Amino acid sequence: MTAKTRIALSSDHAAIDLRRAIAAHITAQGYEAIDIGPTSPESTHYPQHGAAAANLVASGDCDLGIILCGTGQGIMMAANKVKGIRCGVCSDTFSAQMIREHNDANMLSLGARIVDEAQALQIVDAFLGAQFEGGRHATRVDMITALEA
């Protein structure tokens, strides 16, 4: 993806600081961060925040999404219930690169209780810096999409 790509961002209460750090990081790189919160540190429910960001991506309003919760797992599960979303949790840069290159992931999920800020920013860079390779991988991604029918 190139600069000015619109990136939807959301989290639950467990990841507000890390989400903001990521928003600032990608904004500095020229991406358009669409940070839909939450802003309050009060306990909240990750499914609603995952779905809200996923809907922005599925509708085409945003090109990609980055979502966070404590582990990255719950919010990823919620996002993947939205038709057209392919979201993976990553705690390493190789996985983040591969979910773009092979799985055409349109969302990345991170666990704020799993990775620290420096790791998270590297993972985000790997995700945003990679491109879907198509070819045989497109056949497999199409098979995932067919499961939604």
Is residue 73 involved in binding ligand RB5 (CB under 6 A)?
A: yes
Within a 10 A sphere around the Cβ of 83, how many other Cβ atoms?
A: 11
Pick from 3, 26, 21: nearest CA to 11: 21
Rounded to a whole number of angstroms, the minimum distance from the CB of residue 75 to ligand RB5 is 6
Rounded to a whole number of angstroms, the minimum distance from the CB of residue 71 to ligand RB5 is 4
Closest CB to ligand RB5 among residues 106, 109: 109
Closest CB to ligand RB5 among residues 14, 22: 14
Cα 45 from Cα 31, distance rounded (Å)? 27
Is residue 44 involved in binding ligand RB5 (CB under 6 A)?
A: no
Catalytic position from the list 13, 25, 102, 137: 102
Is residue 14 involved in binding ligand RB5 (CB under 6 A)?
A: yes
Is residue 13 annotated as part of the catalytic site, yes or no?
Answer: no
- DSSP H/E element including 97: helix 93-101
What residues contact residue 19 under an 8 Å CB cut-off, 6+ apart? 9, 10, 11, 35, 66, 68, 112
| Contact (CB, 8 A) for 120 and 21 | yes
Q: Which of residues 109-128 bind ligand RB5 (CB under 6 A)?
A: none
- Alpha carbon 7 to its chain centroid, in Å, reads 8
Is residue 88 involved in binding ligand RB5 (CB under 6 A)?
A: no
Closest CB to ligand RB5 among residues 15, 130: 15
Q: Which positions are annotated as active-site residues?
A: 69, 102
